Copies of this chain bind each other. A is one copy, B any other.
Amino acid sequence: MRVLILGFGNVGRRLAEILTERTSYPGLDGLDVSVVGITTGSRGAVVNPAGLNLGRVLAWHGSHGSFEGFSHASAMTSAEALKTLDYDVAVEMTPLDIPGQGAAAIGHVWSALSRGRHVVTCNKGPLAWSWRPLRDLALERGVSFLYETTVMDGVPVFNLAQSCLRGNTILRIEGILNSTTNFVLCEMERGLSLGAAVAGAQRLGVAEADPAYDLDGWDAAVKISALANVLLDAELTPEAVERESLSTVSAQRIEDALTREHRLKVVCEAFRVSSQGESRVIGRVRVREVPVSDPFALVEGTGSILRLTTDILGSIVLTEEDPDLSTTAYGVISDLIRLQEDL
């Protein structure tokens, strides 16, 4: 498969590393991927229709911080590459733009699908703000639109729900899905102020330079919208998700919860409600007191957790422990494997 990668941040580089080292992973034997282009917003692009040598790309990018001067460097933008290069799959890995409602990523996905190319997105904007039109476009063009990496990194959330729970109707989704707020709450339990905990998260690369979108629940709202749209057939947008900001939480509230053997956690949830023949999906991001007997209370630092409640099976809980960049990059790989099997 000829792959075009949009964006080349930490996860993109880890993906490139795994593809370079793929002989070390027996399960990747047979994965036929040739990266024909990598485009970025500010670090240039590299293009080679015959397939890039990812080891050399990584080495150059590692020492120069951009693609400038590399033998296959190109001035092509993502939009141009999507429209003109010859590729089978576009992998959307650009950063999520919350104030812009994911418009750039949605445009990328739309452009590739319109050309009859498959899309793998790591960017959750397209699912949160434009799920139905993109799903319908992919169906109409007979191509795949995959998105396993958008929520809980590469943990198979969507695959589990779609291929392993058949026959069930999912009634409710609950999760701890934002690393920054979970990390900050754990640090505040240890006595740090909100500001000190956020600064610590930034030093470790867990929080963004502007942590407001995490602290105010926007990132979690985007994730629960993505899950609800795909798994509950909702038409939810992040703006319609009720949010509670972590900045309103006092040290005293955290301590009081601990005294009662509870921990404060930022929990997002979505469920369908019906009244008078009409039904709609409610989405919420709330700071909740979770009893220490609940698996949600054990999620430390950058871990995450998801509970799916269904009508027949009951409820199951999926926990991601100590994720790293490989966990996230795996989501793209699993989508590429699925595509290759379908081709």
| Residue in chain B with minimal CB distance to A159 | B164
User: Complex: how many Å from CA A337 to CA B165?
Assistant: 10
In residues 302-322 of chain A, which contact B (Cβ within 8 Å)? 307, 311-322
Cross-chain contact B167 with A31 (CB below 8 angstroms): yes
CB neighbours (8 Å) of A164 from chain B are: 156, 159-160, 163-164, 334
Most buried by B among A25, A167, A294, A320: A167
Q: Which residues of B contact A104 (CB under 8 A)?
A: none
- Interface presence of A330 (CB below 8 A): yes
Asked if B298 and A326 sit within 8 Å, CB to CB, the answer is no
Cα separation A318 to B300 with both chains bound (whole Å): 17
A26 CB-CB contact with B under 8 Å:
yes
- Complex alpha-carbon distance, A322 and B321, angstroms: 22
A194 at the B interface (CB under 8 A): no
- Most chain B beta-carbon neighbours within 10 Å: one of A298, A318, A322: A298
Question: What B residues does A160 contact at CB under 8 A?
Answer: 156, 160, 164
Q: A164-B334, A334-B164, A334-B166 are in contact. Are A25 and B293 (CB under 8 A)?
A: no
Shortest beta-carbon distance, A40 to chain B, in Å? 24
When C-beta atoms are compared, the residue in chain B nearest to A299 turns out to be B295
Q: With A160-B164, A167-B28 known to touch, is A316 a contact of B320 (CB < 8 Å)?
A: yes
Question: Does A125 interact with chain B (Cβ within 8 Å)?
Answer: no
Contact B333 A167 (CB under 8 A): yes
Task: Give every chain B residue within 8 A of A156 (Cβ-Cβ).
Answer: 160, 164-165, 316
User: Most chain-B CB neighbours within 10 Å: which of A159, A314, A315?
Assistant: A314
A151 contacts partner chain B, Cβ-Cβ < 8 Å = no
A211 within 8 A of B: no
Judging by beta carbons under 8 Å apart, are B298 and A313 in contact?
A: no
A72 at interface, CB cutoff 8 A: no
Given the interface pairs A318-B318, A330-B312, the reply to whether A169 lies near B298 with Cβ below 8 Å is no
| Chain B residues within an 8 Å CB radius of A154 | 312-313
Query: Which residues in B have their C-beta under 8 angstroms from that of A315?
Result: 321-322
Which B residues lie within 8 Å of A327 (CB)? Answer: 313-314
Beta-carbon contact of A300 and B293 below 8 Å = yes
A168 CB–B CB distance under 8 Å: yes
Q: Is A155 an interface residue (CB 8 A)?
A: yes
The residue on B at minimum CB distance from A30 is: B167
Nearest 3 CB-CB pairs, A to B? A156-B164, A317-B319, A159-B164
Q: Report the Cα distance A211→B322, complex, angstroms.
A: 38
CB distance from A69 to the nearest CB of B (A): 32
Asked if A18 is an interface residue, CB under 8 A from chain B, the answer is: yes
Known: A160-B160, A319-B319. 8 other contacts (CB 8 A): A27-B167, A28-B167, A154-B313, A155-B316, A163-B163, A165-B334, A167-B337, A316-B318
